[in-house]
Each structure stands twice: as structure tokens, then as C-alpha cells.
Amino acid sequence: MIKLTDVAEKAGVSTATASLVFNNRPGVNKETRENVIRAARELGYMPNNVARSLAMKKSQTIGLVVTDIENPFFGSLTRYIDEATHQNNYSLILAVSRDDPELENQILQKFIGERVDGILVVPTQLARAEFRIYELLAKRGVPFVFATTFYPGYDGDYVMTDLEQGSYRLTRYLLELGHRDIVFLVSSDLRSPISDLRISGFKRAFAEFSLEVEGESIVQCQRPDFQSGYGATKGILEKRQPDAVIAINDVLALGVLKAIKEVGLRVPDDISVAGYDGVIFSSIADVPLTTVRQNVSEIARLAVQLLIRKISDASPQEGRVLIPPELMVRDSTGPKPRRAP
């Protein structure tokens, strides 16, 4: 059996230096590090990760809870988080909460049992009534960071897009085009920041034009998915034809496009449509979708960076990171349509 001492001898370094290399510690120059890795490869040496974890009292794993990996936005986020964790010599354990706070509680409890070093959480679209599981994480000394949004009522660190500013810019853009009857499709829980912050930006834009948001302008969807966007739009079009429809994510907006097409209306000639997130499918839809892009790779990178800082430092500075949104204007939006009285 090849041992660390064999690798050190072949590389011409001390056992302590070889240990620093395999534990990714500073104090070893690039040439020496490469020599040790080359020697290990030639000898077929595999570090004992279990023993190393026990010695360091760390598992070198990070837990990630996402709400829905069918949504390409969260699929992309997961990919970039996985890349960032591996670049920092951590392994990733993935779990899906399906937007269920109780299931999220069970996942977090399981992560505690698996002794992960830290946890990244994509909060559900439902606001929480209690935070006992997060209090338990803090008590057990398991650091965590919220990604893409946060839970109102809980003072936790997060990395996310400035959702309010993105919604404001998108709404103002549509108002500048002359639209006034704008429908906003949001989540089922208006207390959740994914809806609350965007509605705030929506209303701020209207206020700057000295306009009020009518009650029927905000439409709640049971789930933030394609079918809900499609169903909600079909219901709206049975009653009236608005100037424009905004959805809180691109998947909802794609459902809106389908419903409008089915009733024989055209986008954007009859109705403008816009989404939020900037997923790849928004640019390759039948009518490329105007959207607000969230910088997913940056959210992932900064969230992992913040979490690792919390893992490494017993008393790190608090982190509240807002990333600027980017308005992406495409073919699905145009000037307010002219209609006969």
C-alpha cells in the first residue's frame, strides 16, 4: 500500500510538505506542489479523505437545497454552485425542497446528521411562520447562506439579485412604451420576497408616472411554472385583453406566450410579454422574450465564497449581497397597440 511517506520520498520533500499539498494548505510553491502531485499520480497514491476529514474535524462537504431543478434557472444555479464548491476543494450534496418548507426542514435536519461543513439554501416561495430549524443550525455551529432570496422575519446572510430594481426597470420600460393596463403574474404568497420585492418595483414605476396599480393587475399563480402561466393567462384573456403581461420568471412567461398564441393574438403586436431570470429558453422561444437577467454565475460564486468564509472564520462579517439586474429587451415587447374604441 502506497503511503504519504512514499510520495514525499519520490518528490524529494518532507512528509509535512506533502501533507500541506494534499490538504490544499498555503506555504508550498507551485513547482513543489506540482512535483508532489506528479509523484502521487505515478505511484497511484490516493489520499485518505476520511482520515483527513477526521483530523481536520471537517467533512469538506457543502449541502445545497434548491426548490425546483426543472426550472432551468435553478438548474443553472446548481451547476455554477457545484463548480464553485469543487474549485474550493469541497464536495456538494444536493437536495430538492419542491417549494415545501416542511420538506426543507427535513433536508436541513438530514444535513446536520451528515455533518456537512455548511449549507446553501434557496428559500421556498412560501414565507415561513417559524425558524426553529435555522436556530438549530446556528446552535450546532453549522453556517448557512441564503441564495437568490431570503426569508422575511429571519436575519440571515444572503446573496441575490436586486429583485425590486429589476422589476422597476422592466415596468418603467413598458410604461415608457405607452402601456398602462399591465398584468403582473406573481407567486401564491405575496409575503415572499420573490413576489413582494418585485411588486414593490412594479408599483414604484407606476407611481413615477402618477399612476395607480389596479387590484386586478396583480394575479397570483399557484406555482411559478409553465402550466400556471398558461392557465392564468387563459383566464385573463376570457375577461379582457391587457396591454402587457409581466411574469416573475421566464418559465411562467413562456406559458403566457402559449396562451396568447392559442387565442389568435400576436406578441407583441396585440400584447407585450416579459419575464424575469434570463434563462436560455427565453432567448430561443418562438418570440424571443424580453426579460431581466439575473447573473447566476455571480450569485453562485459569491454565495459559495461567503459560506466558505463563514466556515473558516468563527466570527465572520455579516453578508448581505445585492447584485445589479440587467434588462434584456427582445422581440416580445413593443409599443402599446392601437385598438379601435
Do the beta carbons of residue 164 and residue 198 sit within 8 Å?
Answer: yes
Q: Which range (210-214, 286-290, 317-321) has the least confidence?
A: 317-321
Q: What's the CATH number where 11 sits? A: 1.10.260.40
CATH number of the structural domain spanning residue 80: 3.40.50.2300
Domain presence at residue 332: no
My answer on whether 281 and 193 are in the same domain is yes
Mean of per-residue pLDDT scores for the chain? 91
Q: Is 184 contained in some domain?
A: yes
On the question of pLDDT at 45 being above 90, the answer is no
Instruction: Examine residue 205 and state whether it is found in any structural domain, yes or no.
Output: yes
Helices 101-113, 132-140: inter-axial angle, 10-degree rounding: 20
Confidence band, pLDDT 50/70/90 cuts, at residue 24: low
Q: Structurally, how many domains does the chain consist of?
A: 3
pLDDT at 3: 81
Written in H, E and C, the secondary structure of 151-218 is CCCCCCCEEEECHHHHHHHHHHHHHHCCCCCEEEEECCCCCCHHHHHHHHHHHHHHHHCCCCCCHHHE
Residue 153 has pLDDT above 60, yes or no: yes
For 208-223, how does the pLDDT look when each residue is reduced to its tens digit (9 = 90+)?
999 999 889 999 999 8
Residues contacting residue 233 through CB under 8 Å, at least 6 positions apart: 185, 245, 255, 256, 259, 260
* Contacts by residues 1-10 (CB-CB < 8 Å, ≥ 24 positions apart): 2/43, 2/44, 2/45, 3/45, 4/45, 4/47, 6/43, 6/45, 7/36, 7/39, 7/40, 7/43, 7/45, 8/36, 10/39, 10/42, 10/43
Q: Are residues 181 and 135 in the same domain?
A: no
Query: 0.85 exceeded by the pTM?
Result: no
* Per-residue pLDDT at 15: 86
Question: Is 120 within 8 Å of 137 (Cβ atoms)?
Answer: no
pLDDT of residue 182 exceeding 70: yes
Domain-located, residue 331: no
168 with 269, same domain? yes
- Is 330 within the bounds of a domain? no
Average pLDDT over residues 282-294: 92
pLDDT band of residue 30 (cuts 50, 70, 90) is confident
pLDDT at 50: 44
The reported pLDDT for the residue numbered 317 is 66
Q: Are 188 and 106 contained in the same domain? A: no
Q: Tell me the pLDDT tens digit for each residue of 250-277.
A: 999 999 999 999 999 999 999 999 999 9
Q: What confidence tier does 341 reach under pLDDT thresholds 50, 70, 90?
A: low
Compute CA distances 75 → 56, 58, 122, 226, whole Å. Answer: 32, 27, 12, 16
> Quick check: is 257 in a domain?
yes
Are 260 and 218 contained in the same domain? yes
**Do 68 and 146 reside in the same domain of the chain?**
yes
CB 196 within 8 A of CB 246: no
pLDDT digit string (tens) for 90-109?
Answer: 999 999 999 999 999 999 99
- Rg of the Cα trace of the chain? 25
In sequence order, the β-bridge partners of residue 185 are: 219, 247
Average pLDDT over every residue of 81-93: 94
Backbone angles phi, psi at 299, to 5 degrees: -60, -45
Evaluate whether residue 340 is within a structural domain.
no
What range defines the domain where residue 129 resides?
A: 58-161+295-323
Instruction: Let me know whether 32 and 67 are in one domain.
Output: no
- Confirm if 236 and 138 have CB atoms less than 8 A apart: no
pLDDT tier at 282, thresholds 50, 70, 90: confident
214/187 same-domain check: yes
**Whole-number Cα distances in Å, 154 to 64, 108, 133, 159, 262:** 19, 16, 12, 15, 43
Residues 78 and 114 in one domain: yes
Residues 123 and 208 in one domain: no
Q: Is 148 inside any structural domain?
A: yes
249 in the same domain as 282:
yes
- 63 - beta bridge partners? 93, 119
> Contact 210/242 with Cβ under 8 angstroms?
no
Residue 266, pLDDT score: 96
Based on the fold, state whether residues 300 and 287 are members of the same structural domain.
Answer: no
Mean per-residue pLDDT for 40-51?
Answer: 70
